[in-house]
Structure 1
Amino acid sequence: MSAAASLPLRDVQLPPSPPWWPPAPGWWLVFAALVLVVAAIWVWQWRARRARQRWLELFDAEVDQAGSPVLQVAAIASLLRRAARRYQPGAERLQGPAWLAFLDENNSRAFSDGDGALLLDGGYRPSVDAEAVQRLRVLARRRYLSLLTERRR
């Protein structure tokens, strides 16, 4: 008993706290998953931006190649019909006011009552005002892109 009494008593020794670096393997997996998600979102947005850019380049190239204002109106009408077919199959067959109403966006009557009405007969006229075609081009370019990028609800 004298040997046990001679030992000094000490308090409980706690192990050192774990270091913050390197993190546990689970945190590496979380970090890798986060990097993959961010990279996937970035690639998706980059591809969408690139597709929009190509569509606009196609629109501009086809309208520029048309030459005269009458042919430009016909080219714009053709491009809008192709985009409408992609947006809603069968929409490219609409005629007259129904076609213009389809092209109108969210409470806008820019095609039915505005510059877009030139699409109905502008491609068949002997001559068309170049300024009217330019206004139609701006309007149609925006709608062309929205038809290609929006998803039908």
Structure 2
Amino acid sequence: MAPDLVLRDIHSPPTPPWWPPAPGWWLVAGVVLLALAFVLGRHWRRARARRRAEAVFDRALAQATSPTQRIAAMSELLRRAARTRVAGADRLQGEDWLACLDAADPARPFSDGIGRALLDGGFRRDAGDLDIDALQALARARFLGWTAPR
């Protein structure tokens, strides 16, 4: 090598700009947006189905004028909902029906609690001694559990 040769230091290339991103980042962004759209769409559809089920329950009970009619309406709605989830639920009677309603709840509110009124509450002459609002809340929770999408 010649001693009079002027050597210059190695120059680094300029840093790449942050915009536009590389094609891989566009792909990642697209996948994330699609996943977000899927999750939001699914949540929206489930919320809409839940609102519809709530409206069906509330409308049926609003049409009932007496406590016994409210109990009968709750029983009818629960039987309709049970047919869609439990095979043979529409043929169950008595304690078997209450056990079907209690299937997911270890507290057994239908067999041992206020839910027992569903057996004969719709046929009573006077249902004034029953806590209809508590029964309605219990029946509504079970109805929505069966009708709202999982």
TM-score over 0.5 for the alignment? Answer: yes
Could you tell me how far 1:130 is from its partner in structure 2?
7.0
Distance 1:107 1:138 in 2: 17
- 1:94-105 to structure 2, matched below 5 A, reads 94-104=92-102, 105=104
Structure 1: distance between partners of 2:18 and 2:5? 37
Unaligned runs of 5+ in 2: none
- Secondary structure of the 2:15 match is coil
Question: What is the DSSP-based 3-state SS (H/G/I as helix, E as strand, rest coil) of the residue aligned with 1:85?
Answer: helix
Maintained 8 Å contact 1:69/1:130: no
Answer yes or no: is 1:124 the counterpart of 2:132: no
Quote the residue 2:112 is aligned against: 113
The alignment status of 1:76 with 2:74, answered yes or no, reads yes
Query: Alpha carbons of 1:40 and 1:150: their partners in 2 closer, same or farther (altered >3 Å)?
Result: closer
2:65: which partner in 1? 67
1:136 aligned residue: 135
2-side partners of 1:101 and 1:150: how far apart? Answer: 22
Equivalent-residue separation in structure 1 for 2:149 and 2:111 (angstroms): 21
Distance 2:107 2:59 in 1: 27
Structure 1 residue 8 displacement after superposition: 2.3
SS at 1:123 equivalent: helix
Q: Which residue of 2 aligns with 1:24?
A: 22
Moved over 4 A (4+): 4-7
Are the equivalent residues in 1 in contact too, given 2:53–2:148 (CA < 8 A)? no
- Identity %, equivalent residues: 49
Please point out which of 87, 91, 98 is paired with 1:89.
Answer: 87
Q: Displacement, 1:89?
A: 2.7
The alignment of Structure 1 onto Structure 2 pairs a total of residues equal to 149
**TM-score using structure 1 length:** 0.87
Q: How far is the alpha carbon of 1:42 from its aligned partner? A: 1.1
Q: How far is the alpha carbon of 1:117 from its aligned partner?
A: 0.4
Structure 1 unaligned residues grouped into runs of 5+:
none
For the aligned residue pairs, the C-alpha RMSD in angstroms reads: 2.1
Q: Mean alpha-carbon deviation: is it higher for 12-21 or for 25-34? A: 12-21
After superposition, the C-alpha distances for 1:58-77 in whole angstroms (9 at most, x for unaligned) are 10110110222111111100
Deviation at 1:133, TM superposition (A): 2.2
Compare 111-120 and 8-17 and name the one that shifted more: 8-17
Q: Which moved more, 1:91-100 or 1:125-134?
A: 125-134
Whose relative contact order is higher, 1 or 2, with alpha carbons under 8 Å and at least 6 apart?
2
Instruction: Answer whether contact 1:70 1:128 (CA < 8 A) is retained.
Output: yes
